[in-house]
Amino acid sequence: GVYVRQLQAREVVETLYEEDENEHGDTLCGACDENYALDEFWICCDICEKWFHGKFIV
């Protein structure tokens, strides 16, 4: 029923979260060298292809 579908949806979201964290786990901010975190806004430079915390982009 509905409860089973909610559990399945939650499992999908958790799996995607883990895959994203594993994929970017070694990514460092080009400005401060801190590790990537899913709970922060990040942006990639089209020119140098480095990732930066959104707070460093003006």
CATH code: domain of residue 44: 3.30.40
pLDDT in the model for residue 16: 58
46: number of Cβ within 10 Å: 6
What is the extent of the structural domain holding 20?
2-56
CB 36 within 8 A of CB 25: yes
Cα-based angle 36, 40, 44 (whole degrees, multiple of 5): 60
In the chain, how many domains are there? 1
Q: Provide the pLDDT for residue 32.
A: 94
* Residues near 24 by beta carbon (within 8 Å), at least 6 away in sequence: 36, 38, 51
pTM: 0.54
Cα–Cα distance for residue pair 33/1, rounded to 1 Å: 47
Encode the chain (58 residues) as per-residue pLDDT tens digits: 566 666 666 666 566 556 555 555 678 999 999 988 878 899 999 999 999 999 988 7
